Structure 1
């Protein structure tokens, strides 16, 4: 999955979870679904993965700009696999 897809997917999930509420069985008091760690963790993980992969991509591009095409393809393959 590309960096953009990770960032967009994480953003969509975060906005969706922020809007959702649940009601308690004993009354109509709404509770935020974002208060559950099962909802927070995947969003935080996606956000962190997007940030780290973006930084890694920038580092890889600037590492050595005069690499051969084969080496650039190898770095792109490694980047996509991680």
Structure 2
């Protein structure tokens, strides 16, 4: 599932794409990124889900979100 956020994200250190992908398991996604040679953040645990971030060659920051359950299935 992809989520598109139309708000502008302004950060000094990176650009946020405004798009995030939902994954089943943030830790597993992080391991897969690291195994592929991609620099990935530690998993951030938040009340609304667990997040891992990685960057692309253009300097965009991509979030992956794992959520325990969704209210609509």
TM-score norm. by structure 2 comes to 0.26
| Higher helix proportion | 1
| Higher strand proportion | 2
For the pair shown, which has the larger CA radius of gyration, 1 or 2? 1
